């Protein structure tokens, strides 16, 4: 083993107890049902050791294999994916708090290596969890058969309906929510629906609160990478070969605005508001996502919305053509379903071809390799920064962030 790897392992070994203590305390503060019933420390210790071992052996399979098996075990124990992600986040934040403030190059090297290896474990865990839950998800979601489903799927004639229903998290676009949307789309397409309506549950005043902030990586990894569950969901909505109408009642935040813009048509009532909020989190938005906004809004409006994070109301949204139809609350459902019925009666192959043509024409923008790499460098600087960690911490602690530009 090289001397520098030796040093990293030494630093990690010395900090284990402190980091695990901090992570266990952070998990206890969350008050998740499972972590209130069991002491999370033994599992956190094992995870810490596997991460260290994978760095020591230079073999990421050590942590990936462990996390793959962990997903099955915890799913069996009834753990939600958000609870599992919370443990990874707690450990990562504790590692940064426990190692980086020593401000030594060794501490920084150790925490960077730890964060990278833990990220490999987290990816393996999420992939395994999604694989396993997809296999066991019953044929119909959102009913008594699957009370854990975040999305109810139904067909009304030739129109499919996906209803997001996770009021406790204000319809945050978590791994589970996005996975339910994607499997709902598949299910509706297999039933030959000709149009799909994406809506929130009628009782909710938030359409969606955007990316599940608790599932965002805690620094040193692209928060909106190609494989992020929300990114996959946006691609699924954009590619599904029938028109998708976003029926919007209430507020739309961050990545949920991207989801609305990824739908083909938007019908909203006067309660609808739209905000894009990465500047509140210190999060560098991805280039693909920016293209979605640029394709629909004038650049000065895009800039104002991204730079302020301030919501626009329904009237402004209509003026900027975010919404196709702004209607009174009582008319929202009839207007949406009348429109869906009209499209469902038209030629589906012709509609599918035009939808795909428009997607290709608007999604792709040639960028020189050097330019792309420079942009990725700027984004990396932002998601590697203390400000990004501060943005996430401020959300969790329900306080305004204090950004310092580093």
Positions marked catalytic: 211, 255, 285
What is each CA distance from 324 to 167, 340, 363, in whole angstroms?
A: 26, 13, 20
Q: Which is nearer to ligand KGA, 113 or 281 (CB)?
A: 281
H or E stretch at 152? strand 151-156
Is residue 175 a contact residue for ligand KGA (CB under 6 A)? no
Is residue 277 a contact residue for ligand KGA (CB under 6 A)? yes
Is residue 213 a contact residue for ligand KGA (CB under 6 A)? yes
Q: Which is nearer to ligand KGA, 111 or 261 (CB)?
A: 261
Site string for ligand KGA, 25-64 (x = CB under 6 A): ----------------------------------------
Give 87: exposed, middle or buried? Use CB within 10 Å, 0-12, 13-18, 19+: buried
Binding ligand KGA (rule: CB under 6 A), the pick from 55, 94, 237, 283 is 283
What is each CA distance from 288 to 31, 232, 236, 241, in whole angstroms?
A: 36, 12, 14, 20
Q: Which is nearer to ligand KGA, 242 or 305 (CB)?
A: 305
C-alpha–C-alpha distance, residues 282 and 218, integer Å: 12
Query: What are the structure tokens assigned to 74, written together?
Result: 């915890």
- Under a CB-based contact definition with an 8 Å cutoff, are residues 259 and 234 in contact? yes
Position with the least CB separation from ligand KGA:
254
Is residue 209 a contact residue for ligand KGA (CB under 6 A)? yes
- Please list every residue from 367 through 396 that binds ligand KGA, using CB under 6 A: none
Binding ligand KGA (rule: CB under 6 A), the pick from 280, 340, 387, 389 is 280
Positive or negative: CA dihedral 13, 19, 23, 24 = positive
Among residues 233, 222, 333, the alpha carbon closest in space to that of 286 is found at 222
Binding ligand KGA (rule: CB under 6 A), the pick from 254, 282, 348, 401 is 254
- Starting at the edge strand found earlier in the chain, the sheet holding 265-269 runs 151-156, 159-164, 195-200, 244-248, 265-269, 325-327
Concatenating the DSSP letter of every residue in 349-375 gives HHHHHHHHHHHHHHH-----HHHHHHH
Name the one range near ligand KGA by CB under 6 A: 86-94, 143-151, 169-177, 377-385. 169-177
What is each CA distance from 184 to 138, 153, 248, in whole angstroms?
A: 12, 6, 18
Is residue 165 a contact residue for ligand KGA (CB under 6 A)? no
Q: Which is nearer to ligand KGA, 229 or 254 (CB)?
A: 254
Is residue 401 a contact residue for ligand KGA (CB under 6 A)? no
Is residue 286 a contact residue for ligand KGA (CB under 6 A)? no
Shortest separation between residue 398's beta carbon and ligand KGA, angstroms: 7
- Please list every residue from 189 through 208 that binds ligand KGA, using CB under 6 A: 206
Size of the site for ligand KGA (CB under 6 A): 19
Q: Please, which contacts does 42-45 make with residues 24 or more away whose CB atoms are closer than 8 Å?
A: 43/70, 43/87, 44/20, 44/87, 44/90, 44/91, 45/16, 45/20
What is each CA distance from 120 to 107, 113, 313, in whole angstroms?
A: 20, 11, 41
C-alpha–C-alpha distance, residues 335 and 326, integer Å: 10
Name the one range near ligand KGA by CB under 6 A: 102-110, 178-186, 276-284, 362-370. 276-284
Dmax (CA) of the chain: 70
Name the one range near ligand KGA by CB under 6 A: 12-20, 210-218, 320-328, 352-360. 210-218
Give 403: exposed, middle or buried? Use CB within 10 Å, 0-12, 13-18, 19+: middle
The Cβ of residue 223 has, within 10 Å, a number of other Cβ atoms equal to: 25
Site string for ligand KGA, 214-253 (x = CB under 6 A): x--------------------------------------x
Query: What are the structure tokens assigned to 112, written together?
Result: 């960077």
Q: Which is nearer to ligand KGA, 112 or 228 (CB)?
A: 228
Binding ligand KGA (rule: CB under 6 A), the pick from 255, 311, 348, 401 is 255
Is residue 170 a contact residue for ligand KGA (CB under 6 A)? yes
Is residue 285 a contact residue for ligand KGA (CB under 6 A)? yes
Q: Which is nearer to ligand KGA, 64 or 297 (CB)?
A: 297
- Starting at the edge strand found earlier in the chain, the sheet holding 273-275 runs 206-208, 251-253, 273-275, 312-313
- Please list every residue from 312 through 331 that binds ligand KGA, using CB under 6 A: none
Q: Which is nearer to ligand KGA, 5 or 306 (CB)?
A: 306
> What is the binding site for ligand KGA (CB under 6 A)?
169-170, 172, 206, 209-214, 253-255, 277-278, 280-281, 283, 285
């Amino acid at each position: 083993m090289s001397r520098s790897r030796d040093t990293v392992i030494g630093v990690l070994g010395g900090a284990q107890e402190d980091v695990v203590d901090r992570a266990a305390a952070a998990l206890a503060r969350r008050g998740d049902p499972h972590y209130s019933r069991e002491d999370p420390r033994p599992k956190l210790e094992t995870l810490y050791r596997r991460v260290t071992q994978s760095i020591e052996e230079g073999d990421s399979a050590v942590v990936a294999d462990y996390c793959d098996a962990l997903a099955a075990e915890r799913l069996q124990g009834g753990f939600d994916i958000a609870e599992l992600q919370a443990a990874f986040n707690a450990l990562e934040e504790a590692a940064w708090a426990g190692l980086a403030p020593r401000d030594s190059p060794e501490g920084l090297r150790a925490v960077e290596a730890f964060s990278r290896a833990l990220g490999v474990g987290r990816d393996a865990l999420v992939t395994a969890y999604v694989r396993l839950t997809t296999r066991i998800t019953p044929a119909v979601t959102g009913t008594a058969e699957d009370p854990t489903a975040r999305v109810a799927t139904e067909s009304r004639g030739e129109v499919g309906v996906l209803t997001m229903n996770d009021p406790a998290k204000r319809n945050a676009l978590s791994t589970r929510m996005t996975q339910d949307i994607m499997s709902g789309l598949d299910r509706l397409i297999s039933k030959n629906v000709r149009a799909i309506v994406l809506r929130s549950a009628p009782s909710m005043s938030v359409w969606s609160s955007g990316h599940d902030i608790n599932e965002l990586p805690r620094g040193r990894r692209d928060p909106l990478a190609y494989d992020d569950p929300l990114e996959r969901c946006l691609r699924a909505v954009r590619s599904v070969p029938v028109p998708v109408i976003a029926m919007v009642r209430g507020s739309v935040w961050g990545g949920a605005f991207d989801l609305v813009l990824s739908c083909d048509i938007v019908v909203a009532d006067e309660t609808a508001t739209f905000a894009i909020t990465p500047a509140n989190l210190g999060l560098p938005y991805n280039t693909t996502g920016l293209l979605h906004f640029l394709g629909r809004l004038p650049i000065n409006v895009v800039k104002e919305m991204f730079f302020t994070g301030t919501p626009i109301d329904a009237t402004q949204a209509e003026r900027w053509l975010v919404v196709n139809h702004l209607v009174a609350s009582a008319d929202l459902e009839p207007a949406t379903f009348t429109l869906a019925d009209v499209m469902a009666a038209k030629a589906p192959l012709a509609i599918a071809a035009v939808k795909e043509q428009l997607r290709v024409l608007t999604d792709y923008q040639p960028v020189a390799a050097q330019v792309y790499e420079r942009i990725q460098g700027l984004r990396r600087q932002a998601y590697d920064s203390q400000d990004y960690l501060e943005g996430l911490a401020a959300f969790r602690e329900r306080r305004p962030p204090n950004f310092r530009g580093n």
